[in-house]
Structure formats: structure tokens, C-alpha cells
Amino acid sequence: MKALSRIGAIFAKELRQLRRDRMTFGMVVMIPLIQLLLFGFAINTNVRHIPAGVVDQSGSALGRVLAQTAQATGVVSFTEHFSDVGEAQAAIAAARVRAVLIVPPDVSQRLARHPSLGFGRPAATDQEVARPVAQWLVDGSDTIVASAVRGLRNMPLLELLDKPPNRSTPTFEVTLLYNPEQRSAVNIVPGLVATILTMTMIMFTSAAIVREREHGNMEMLITTPVRPIELMLGKIIPYVFVGAVQVSIILALGHLVFGVPVNGSRWQLAAATLLFICASLTLGLVISTIARSQLQSMQMTIFVLLPSILLSGFMFPYDAMPLAAQYIAEVLPATHFMRLVRGVVLRDVEILHMSGDLLWLALFTVGGLIVASLRFKKRLD
């Protein structure tokens, strides 16, 4: 009975302490609530309305109808028109579109020779070989998006031909760029760079200020001439080198073990990685100025970490998310770096062609340093 009484006393003390700790109590309620609502709507492997472009070399009404028929499936949504294939491939490399429909100049002849039988003509003879009506160029680095577009390969042409579809010749030829073998490791390894950096960089600095307070070093820092911005910079600079080591390990092992190519410039990759590391570290510093204990800083880190992993496009396609989830994803540094690292490593894209992502990471870093410095100064007062 005495043991039960002592256990009950400790139980009551923990409840009172939890009630006084509003931050922890809020996390107990908000983490499952927000994560459930957010991920329940955002996580979706059924990709719809993939941003796509079209190169209509035929300039005919038939080419326009073909594009409209593809868009009517709901799989793709044409957002851009290009004058030539080179321009279209550059747009895919810069991630402005994920796929491009190329309508050839002889689309009418191809359609007439298609085995579905059109315009009252017989099926193709040996001298007149049937070919796909058009071609898709697809960013194969994302296997889920590539699979969705490949599903259009045998799209029926009922809107164009008053005949049932024939599967002997596909409607579209599908060319997968950057990852024609559709190996998952090619997509996952660069994404792991963003995920692991997010996890470690935020975790390292989220307890930086809290740790000083808990170890009794805050009074000493207050009495020194160190300015808040100097303290923040001094906290994050050592971890920049830690992040660089982590990136080198991931990409080196990914190349040696899984055969993942590094197609882009190492210097451009280093520049994009440096910006992302700084953005993640400053986010951790902001968390550290809000949290009252290392436990709270860890809880807030998890609260930020899960959306960064699941909404950044690492596990689930960004294009499959509803618009509200995409707005949230755009705020997170991991989303922008995910595009940059995959663009440089897999597609050999110039990072200046993805200047919007670079600018956001730079602004996030500067803004995070300012907020963390102001909050720390306020506590000194």
C-alpha cells in the first residue's frame, strides 16, 4: 500500500508539472492533431495534374485535340508551350515542368496508320510501319511521376478515332530522362542529403541557447561583450563543416554502393548545400530561443522535422499534394533544397536556373538570424 501511495504521489506531481508546462502540453495535443490532418490530406501517391509542357510541331488542330485529350485524363496539366525540343528539355531540367508532349509534324499520317484504324484507312502494311502518334519526354528521376505519365502510353484515342483502342502499337512513345532504368536509389540518395541535413542541422542547434541556460553559462554570456548576432554566427559556423562532411559521405557512398551519378558541378552543389545548411541551422536557433528546456526543443524539432521530410517531395511527389499542403511545403527550406540537389546531381542543371529556390534559402537564413538575435536580445533585457 505504501508503494502505491508513493507511486500515486509521483503520478500527481507529474500531472501538475505537465499542466504548468504549457509548451509540452500544447505539443501533446497539437502534434497528433496537426500531423494527422496535414498528412492525411497531403500524402497521396495517386499523382494528378502533373505540370507538363507541349511542343506542337504539327501546328494543326489535330495536335491541339491530342493535347486536350491527354489533359482530360487528369494525369497531366499543360502549363507551358515550347517552340522546340531543346527548350522543352531545359524546362524539364530546371523542374519547371515534369513532362513534355511532343506532337510530330506528321501526326495526321501517324494517326491514319495507327492500328486503331482511322479515317477509313487500313492498318499499316510492311512498307508503311505504324508508329506511336506522339512522344512524351519525362523526368524519370521521380519514379512515381514517371510511372503516372507512362500510364498514358496506351491512352485510348476514342475522341480522335471512332474505333476501339488497339494495344499492338502504343499511342505514345515515352522517353525517360535522367533515370531510364527507373532505379529507386537514383531518386532516394539525393533526397537523403536533404533529409539527413534537415534532421541533424536543426537538432544540433535547436538546443544551443537552451543548453547554455541549463548548464549555467547564460550569466557569463550576458556579462561578455559578445553581441547576439555574433553569438548566433558562432553557434552555427562549426556545424557548417559537419554538414559538409555528411553530404560528402552520403554522395560518395551513394555513388560507390548504389551507382548514383553526380552529373552536375561539385561547386554548384556545394553552394546550394551551404545555403541549405545555414537555413536549417538558423531554424534550429530560432527554436532554441523559443524553447525553455532541451526536452521542449526536441519536441519542436520533431514538429518541424516531420513536415520537412514528408512534404518536401522526398517520399511523396510534391505535385500530388493539395494546394494548401504545397503552400506549407514552400515555406520549408527542405523543399527548395530537394529541388536543387536533385537538379544538380541528377539533371546537371545550372543552379541559377533555379534562382527562386536559392533566393528563398538565402532570405530564410538572413531572416532566421535576425529573429534569433532579436529574441535572444529580448531575453537579455
- 181-237 pLDDT, tens per residue? 888 888 889 989 999 999 888 888 887 777 767 666 665 666 667 777 777 788 788
Task: Please determine, for residue 302, whether its predicted confidence score (pLDDT) is greater than 80.
Answer: yes
Q: Which grid coordinates are listed for 131?
A: 508508329
Distance CA 315, CA 309 (A): 7
Q: What pLDDT is stored for residue 379 in this prediction?
A: 46
Structural domains of the chain, with CATH: 50-177 (3.40.1710), 184-380 (no CATH)
Q: Which grid coordinates are listed for 279?
A: 537555413
Q: What pLDDT is stored for residue 217 in this prediction?
A: 64
Strand ranges of the sheet holding 134-139, from the earlier edge strand across to the other edge: 76-81, 50-56, 99-103, 134-139, 172-177
Helices 85-93 and 333-347: crossing angle in degrees, nearest 10, is 130
Distance CA 167, CA 125 (A): 17
Task: Please determine, for residue 14, whether its predicted confidence score (pLDDT) is greater than 80.
Answer: no
Q: What pLDDT is stored for residue 30 in this prediction?
A: 67
151-176 tens-digit pLDDT? 888 887 655 554 445 555 678 889 99
Task: Please determine, for residue 120, whether its predicted confidence score (pLDDT) is greater than 50.
Answer: no
Counting residues of the chain whose pLDDT is more than 70, the rounded percentage is 79
Q: Which of 109-118, 145-154, 314-323 has the lowest mean pLDDT?
A: 109-118
Max intra-chain CA distance, the chain: 97
Q: What pLDDT is stored for residue 169 in this prediction?
A: 67
Task: Please determine, for residue 291, whether its predicted confidence score (pLDDT) is greater than 60.
Answer: yes
Q: What pLDDT is stored for residue 121 in this prediction?
A: 47
The length of the chain in residues reads 381
Summary mean pLDDT of the chain = 81
Distance CA 175, CA 172 (A): 10
Distance CA 47, CA 250 (A): 28
Band of the pLDDT at 270, cuts 50, 70, 90?
very high
Q: What pLDDT is stored for residue 340 in this prediction?
A: 93
42-100 tens-digit pLDDT? 666 678 889 999 999 988 888 888 888 888 888 999 999 998 998 999 899 888 899 99
Q: Amino acid identity of 31?
A: I
Highest-confidence segment of 128-142, 162-176, 282-296, 334-348: 334-348
